[in-house]
C-alpha cells in the first residue's frame, strides 16, 4: 500500500514538473512574458526572472513588451472645470457612474470595479481643490501606513502615491524615490526611480500636471504638490502606445487621473491574490481609464503598496505581508 502511494505521489510530481516546464519553456509565450515583465518591473523581485531565464531571453521579452509614453507635458489650459449636473439620460453606464452623485455626498463617490482577473475601486472626486499630497510624519526615516496617516491628518479619502526605498530596514518605507514637491517647495530628492514617467502632481489651479520638466521648472509653471513616478498612461487625451502586454506584467495598480471636466479619479486595483484578484496589466488598465474619459493619467506605486482608505477605514485588500497587508508609505494623495 505504501509503495503504491509513493508511486502515485511521484507520478503526480512528474506531471506537475512537466506542466511547469511546458508553461515556462514551451511554445506558448504568454506565461514567460507575464513572468518576466511582472518580475522585472518590481523594486525588489527582479531575481525571479533571472531564476528561470537567461539575460538574453529577458532582454528579448522586454523588447517585445513595452509601453511608449506620449512625449508631451500636460496642457493645463485644456482642463475646463464644469459644474456637475444631474441628467435624465447619460451617454453610457460609465458616464452615469462618474456624474451621478451619491445622495448626501457632493465630494466623492466610490465605484466598485471588476474585470478579467481583477477587482478594485474607482473614487470619483468632484472638487479637485480638495486633493493634496500628505507626507509621512517621519519622512526620510520611516514611512507611515495609510490608516494611521488618515487618523493623524483626518482626511476623507487617501491612496498611496510615490515609490520608496526602505531606510530603517525591510518595510520601513522612509525614503521616497525621485523628487517630492509639497506646497510649492522641493522637500525631498530621493534616488532615481529607474522607471519611465516624471513628476505627477497638482498645480495651484488644481489641474493634474504630468511633466518631464525639472522640479524647478515645474514649480515655476505652477506645480504645488508632486511625486515622481510613472509611466504616464494618458497625456492630453492621448494614450501611451502598448506593445505586447505593455511590459509591466500583471499586478496591483494605483492610478491618479483627471478628466477634461476637472473631475479627479483614483483607481485602486488589487492583485497578487488568487481567488480574489490577480491584478491588471497596463493595456487593460489604460482601456479602463479611457472608458471613464481620463484626459491625463499616471501610474503610481503599485504591488504591495496599493492602498485605499476612506474615513479611516481600509477599503481594498493590500497584498503586503502581515497584519491587514498595509505597507509603510512616504506619501499619499488625499482628499480633505
pLDDT digits (tens, 9 = 90+) for 102-159: 999 999 999 999 999 999 999 999 999 999 999 999 998 889 999 999 999 999 999 9
pLDDT at 321: 80
pLDDT at 83: 85
pLDDT > 90? residue 10: no
Cα R_g (the chain), whole angstroms:
21
**Residue with C-alpha cell 518631464?**
212
List C-alpha distances in Å: 116 to 37, 276, 306. 19, 11, 19
Indicate the pLDDT class of residue 11, thresholds 50, 70 and 90: low
Q: Are the C-beta atoms of residues 187 and 181 closer than 8 Å to each other? A: yes
pLDDT at 21: 59
Q: Are the C-beta atoms of residues 316 and 306 closer than 8 Å to each other? A: yes
Q: Are the C-beta atoms of residues 329 and 149 closer than 8 Å to each other? A: yes
pLDDT at 315: 98
Q: Are the C-beta atoms of residues 292 and 93 closer than 8 Å to each other? A: no
**Residue with C-alpha cell 503526480?**
12
Specify the range with the lowest mean pLDDT, choosing from 3-12, 148-157, 293-302. Answer: 3-12
Indicate the pLDDT class of residue 303, thresholds 50, 70 and 90: very high
pLDDT at 284: 96
pLDDT > 60? residue 17: no
pLDDT at 32: 86
Q: Which of 196, 191, 166 is nearest to 179 (CA)?
A: 191
pLDDT at 2: 59
List C-alpha distances in Å: 6 to 9, 273, 330. 5, 32, 52
* Mean pLDDT in residue range 293-319: 96
pLDDT at 37: 86
pLDDT tens digits along 244-261 = 888 899 999 999 999 999
- Beta-sheet pairing, 198-203 with 208-211: antiparallel
pLDDT > 60? residue 162: yes
pLDDT > 90? residue 309: yes
Q: Are the C-beta atoms of residues 305 and 160 closer than 8 Å to each other? A: yes
pLDDT > 60? residue 299: yes
Instruction: Convert 222-288 into a string of H (helix), E (strand) and C (coil).
Output: CEEEEEEECCEEEECCEECEEECCCCCCCECEEEEEEECCCCEEEEEECCCECCCECCECHHHHHHH
pLDDT tens digits along 51-75 = 888 989 888 988 899 999 999 999 9
How many degrees, rounded to 5, is the angle at CA 165 between CA 194 and CA 71? 25
pLDDT at 49: 85
Phi, psi of 289 (to 5 degrees): -65, -45
pLDDT at 333: 98
pLDDT > 70? residue 48: yes
The H-assigned helical ranges of the chain are 2-25, 30-40, 47-52, 55-64, 93-99, 146-153, 215-220, 282-291
pLDDT > 70? residue 18: no
* Mean pLDDT in residue range 222-236: 97
List the end-to-end C-alpha distance of the chain, in Å, as a whole number: 67
Percentage, residues of the chain above pLDDT 90: 70
pLDDT at 25: 66
- Beta-sheet pairing, 294-299 with 185-189: unpaired
Residue 197 in grid coordinates: 514617467
Phi, psi of 328 (to 5 degrees): -75, 135
pLDDT at 71: 92
**Which three-class secondary structure state does DSSP give residue 96?**
helix
Q: Which of 113, 242, 310, 250 is nearest to 332 (CA)?
A: 310
Amino acid at each position: 500500500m505504501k509503495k503504491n502511494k509513493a508511486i502515485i505521489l511521484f507520478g503526480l510530481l512528474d506531471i506537475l514538473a512537466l506542466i511547469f516546464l511546458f508553461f515556462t519553456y514551451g511554445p506558448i509565450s504568454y506565461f514567460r512574458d507575464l513572468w518576466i515583465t511582472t518580475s522585472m518591473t518590481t523594486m525588489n523581485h527582479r531575481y525571479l526572472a533571472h531564476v528561470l531565464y537567461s539575460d538574453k531571453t529577458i532582454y528579448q521579452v522586454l523588447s517585445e513588451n513595452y509601453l511608449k509614453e506620449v512625449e508631451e507635458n500636460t496642457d493645463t489650459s485644456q482642463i475646463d472645470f464644469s459644474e456637475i449636473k444631474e441628467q435624465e439620460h447619460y451617454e453610457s453606464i460609465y458616464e452615469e457612474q462618474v456624474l451621478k452623485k451619491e445622495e448626501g455626498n457632493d465630494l466623492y463617490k466610490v465605484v466598485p470595479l471588476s474585470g478579467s482577473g481583477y477587482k478594485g475601486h474607482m473614487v470619483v472626486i468632484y472638487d479637485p481643490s480638495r486633493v493634496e499630497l500628505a507626507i509621512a510624519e517621519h519622512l526620510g526615516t520611516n514611512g507611515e501606513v495609510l490608516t494611521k496617516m488618515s487618523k493623524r491628518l483626518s482626511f476623507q479619502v487617501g491612496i498611496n502615491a510615490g515609490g520608496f526605498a526602505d531606510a530603517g530596514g525591510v518595510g520601513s518605507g522612509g525614503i521616497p524615490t525621485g523628487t517630492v514637491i509639497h506646497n510649492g517647495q522641493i522637500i525631498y530628492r530621493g534616488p532615481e526611480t529607474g522607471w519611465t514617467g516624471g513628476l505627477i502632481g497638482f498645480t495651484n489651479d488644481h489641474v493634474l500636471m504630468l511633466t518631464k520638466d525639472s522640479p524647478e521648472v515645474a514649480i515655476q509653471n505652477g506645480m504645488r504638490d508632486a511625486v515622481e513616478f510613472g509611466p504616464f498612461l494618458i497625456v492630453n487625451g492621448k494614450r501611451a502606445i502598448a506593445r505586447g502586454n505593455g511590459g509591466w506584467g500583471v499586478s496591483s495598480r494605483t492610478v491618479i487621473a483627471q478628466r477634461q471636466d476637472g473631475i479627479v479619479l483614483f483607481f485602486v486595483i488589487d492583485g497578487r491574490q488568487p481567488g480574489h484578484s490577480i491584478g491588471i496589466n497596463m493595456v487593460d488598465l489604460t482601456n479602463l481609464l479611457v472608458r471613464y474619459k481620463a484626459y491625463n493619467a499616471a501610474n503610481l506605486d503599485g504591488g504591495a503598496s496599493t492602498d485605499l482608505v476612506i474615513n479611516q477605514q481600509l477599503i481594498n485588500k493590500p497584498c503586503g505581508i502581515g497584519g491587514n497587508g498595509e505597507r509603510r508609505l512616504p506619501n499619499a494623495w488625499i482628499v480633505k
